[in-house]
Amino acid sequence: METMTQDEMKQQVAEAALAYVKPGTMIGVGTGSTANKFIDALASIKDQLLGTVASSEATAERLRGHGIPVLTLNEALQQVETLSVYIDGADEFDPGKNLTKGGGGALTREKIVAAASDAFVCIVDQSKQVAHLGAFPLPIEVIPMAQSLVEQAARAIGGQPRLREGFTTDNGNIILDVYGLTITEPRQLEDHLNTIPGVVTNGIFSHQGADTVLMATPTGVQTIQ
């Protein structure tokens, strides 16, 4: 039997997510290679959409390239109370549907758009499933002057922070990737890191965890509720 490539699995799960887009609603759209495949699939039903809110400049550009309407979150929330759904990938997910995100550096806008949405549908391939978050280095968006302060705090919890070289977020900040963490209490760590002055946000999505994970496998897409 031929096995499916990771790229083919991403394509399959991106198409499956279309079922979560309700006609006539405003939706949030994530960032990354899986989200890009979702955007391309979304083009086929663009006439049914009220609009979209993008979690990054790159996503906004790709949506507009397909002729899909993009609003800022502030514009959108003047028209609707909430976005009906946020659809995005992840770097890792655990059995509690807590996520690590930010591999693409868009974590802050992703968390904001997720918080404005009624539901978060996370689209991943099976390589993202873990028992505990942490094998994927945890991204933290940091205001540049606080770099050393946040590095000290990351070391204090047993992590090894590394500056993401040559990268600036859409918000003009840096990313520290923290290696070596085993995250058994995601909500506590998310809260703790977000109390450090200079941290904009960190890539643990526990408060904004997934409501539904669609996980592509070589034998089909599994729905984890």
Binding site for ligand 5RP (CB under 6 A): 30-34, 88-91, 101-107, 110
Nearer CB in complex with ligand 5RP: 47/218: 218
Cα separation of 117 and 57, whole Å?
A: 19
The alpha-helical segments, DSSP class H, found in 67-217 are 73-79, 107-115, 147-156, 186-194
Q: Which is nearer to ligand 5RP, 110 or 190 (CB)?
A: 110
110 carries an active-site annotation: yes
Of 8, 81, 92, 110, the catalytic one is: 110
DSSP one-letter code for 91: S
> Judged by CB, which is closer to ligand 5RP: 105, or 209?
105
Query: Of how many residues is the chain composed?
Result: 225
Q: How far is the CB of 171 from ligand 5RP (least distance, A)?
A: 13
Report residue 191 as tokens: 């809260």
Q: How far is the CB of 123 from ligand 5RP (least distance, A)?
A: 8
Nearer to ligand 5RP, 91 or 94 (CB): 91
Q: How many CB atoms lie within 10 A of CB 3?
A: 7
CA dihedral (7, 12, 15, 17) in degrees, to 10, reads -100
* Minimum distance from residue 217 beta carbon to ligand 5RP (Å): 15
CB of 176 vs ligand 5RP, minimal distance in Å: 14
Which residues are the active-site residues? Answer: 110
